[in-house]
A and B are shown apart, each in its own frame.
Chain A
C-alpha cells in the first residue's frame, strides 16, 4: 500500500442559498486519510458533518452547492469530474451507508435484484450467476444467517439491524476503497450496534477499505476510529489521532463535549455542561462559531481563527487552545 492518501479533502465549502440567507453548512473543511484508516467525523446536529459526507459524493441538492475546494480521491478531483465518471465511482469505488437503511433499499424489489443491479451497473460483463454468488458472499460477510434464502426476501421482511447489514453488504459488493457511513448505528439497539461495529471493524482490517464514520456519539468513535475530526458550526475545530484528541483535547469545544458525556466515574456528580445552544448556521457570529458558549472567549475570537498545529499531528482552530495538560476538563 502506498502512502498517498485515499482521500484528500481540501478547503471544502458547501453553502445553502436559502431565502433566509446563506447557510455555510461546510466552511473550509480539510482532512485526508490513507487506505485502511477509519476516520470519525463527530459533531452535534447542524454541525455540517452529514453535508460533508454528501459533498464528497456530489449528493448535495439545491439550494445547496459546493462553492469551492477540492475532493481528491486517489489524485482525481471528484468535484470537477464529469457526471458520468462520477457515476462510475459512486457505488463502485466509493460507497455510502445511510442512517436509515430503508433509504438505501427499494421496498418493492427483492434483495437479490437490488444487489445484482449494483454489480451489473458497474460491470455489465458479469453473468447473473456470478453476480448472485457475489451477492450471497457479501451477505455472508456481514453476518446474515442463511444468505441463500435471504437473497429472495424483500426489505420489509428484515429487522432493522438486518436491513442495515443488507445496506452494508450492498456497499461492499464492488469492494470499494472508501465507505462513507452516515450515523449507521444511531437507530439500532445496543447489542445490534455492537454487531454492526464488529462487522465494520473486521471489514477495514481485512480488506484495507477506508471509512469515514459520521456520528454524534463520541463513545462509538472511541472504539472504532484511528483518527477523529470534531466539527462545530460547519468547521473542523480539532482533528488528530483518536487517543491524542480524546485524552488531551485542546479545543474548548472538544473539552466541553468530552466533559458532558456521562459514564463510569461521573455518578452523583454534576456533568460539565456547555452553556447555551448551537448557533444557527444562518446566523453564525463573526470569527469563531463557538465564542458565545466558550469560557475562554475574548475580543481575539471575533476574527476567524486560522488552522494551527500547536501539538504535532493535531490541527485545531482556536485562538486560546488548552495547552496546559493539567487544566481540568471543562475548566
Chain B
C-alpha cells in the first residue's frame, strides 16, 4: 500500500450534555443526576492511501458521520490525532492548515439542506474559489461553467436557484461546489442515499470518473453495503463508535470475519436472492448513551462468551492487511 494520505490515530469524540442549573442544585441535594456522555467515536484508527476509495459502513448512531465531519474539519476531536500528508492537523501552521482544509472537501447527504436557497448556482460554486484566490473574480463565471460541465450540469443554468433543480442535479451542484476549490480528498457522507436508483447510478459513475480524471481520494460513508461494495477498495465497518473490521473489499465480502459484519452481509437484500427465508439478527442497536460493556455487539452476537461482556476486544491484524476486533480470533 502506498503511503497514507490521511492517517487517523485513536480518534475520539464525546458529546456531553452539561447539567443545567436546576440539575446542579438537585445534585447538591443528593439526587442521582449526572452528565450524559455519548462516545460517538471511540478510539478509531484509520489509514487512507492516496488515490484510494475507503468505504465506511455502519448503522445509524455508529459514529460514521461524526468521524467524517472530524476529518473534514467541521467538528474538532475530543482526543486523538488526524494527520494529513504526514503532518498532524493541530501542529500545522495556519497557512498549512488552510491549505489542508481546502484540499479536504465534504459532500453532504441532503442536497436540499446543504445548498443556500437564496444563492444562485453561479455564486454557490464560485464563491469559495474567488475567496481563496484560485480564480480572479473576473474569470469566475468561465471557471464555474467549466466545473459545471465536469459534473454533468448544463452551464446555461448557472443563474438559476437551487429549487429549480431536481434532487440528482442538486447533488451535482454540491459536488461541483466541493470540486471548485481543487480538492484532493473528498468525504462523501451518504452522498447518494437521498437519490432515486437510476439517478444514484449516474452519480456513482460521476464519482468514479472524477476519481480517474482528478486523482481523487475518497472516504465514502454509507449505510448501503451494495454501493460500498461497488465503489470501494477497502471497507471499514463501524458499530457504536468503534471500528470492528477493516479489509480489502473482496476479502471482506467473500469471508467476513466479525460476527457483526457477517450479520450485516446476511441482511442486505440482493437482487439475486429470491423468496429467501429471513434469519434476522436479534435485538436492537443499543443506545450510544449507555453501550453494553466489553464488546458492544455481544448482546446481539450468536457467539458471545463470558469474556465478551467483560473485555473490550482490540482491533488486530488477523491476516495480512486484514483487521478485526473479536475475541473469537483468539480462540483456536
Contact = CB atoms under 8 A, between A and B. Distances in A.
A274 B268 CA distance: 24
Contacts of A258: 271
A130 to B, nearest CB: 30
A220 B272 CA distance: 11
B197 A260 contact: yes
Interface stretch (A73-81, A88-96, A264-272): A264-272
Main secondary structure of the interface of B (DSSP, over half): helix
B196 A273 contact: no
A217 B250 CA distance: 24
B225 interface: yes
A243 interface: yes
Enumerate the 8 nearest inter-chain pairs by beta-carbon distance, A residue then B residue, closest first.
A260-B201, A262-B230, A198-B278, A194-B267, A219-B269, A189-B59, A194-B280, A195-B280
For chain A, the bracket of interface size reads: 35 or more
A267 B249 CA distance: 9
A192 B264 CA distance: 10
B264 A261 contact: no
Interface in A220-250: 220, 222-224, 226, 242-243, 246
Interface stretch (B95-103, B116-124, B202-210): B202-210
20 contacts: A159-B284, A190-B268, A191-B280, A191-B281, A191-B285, A194-B281, A197-B269, A216-B196, A217-B197, A218-B197, A219-B271, A222-B269, A223-B273, A256-B198, A260-B197, A262-B201, A264-B229, A264-B253, A273-B198, A273-B202
Contacts of B268: 190, 219
B230 A217 contact: no
Interface centre among B166, B197, B276, B281 (most CB of A within 10 A): B197
B274 A246 contact: yes
A262 B268 CA distance: 12
A20 to B, nearest CB: 15
A201 interface: yes
Contacts of B137: none
Contact of B198 (A44, A224, A262): A44
Contacts of B227: 262
Contact of A262 (B229, B253, B276, B277): B229
A46 B205 CA distance: 23
B200 interface: yes
A237 to B, nearest CB: 13
A263 interface: yes
A222 B197 contact: no
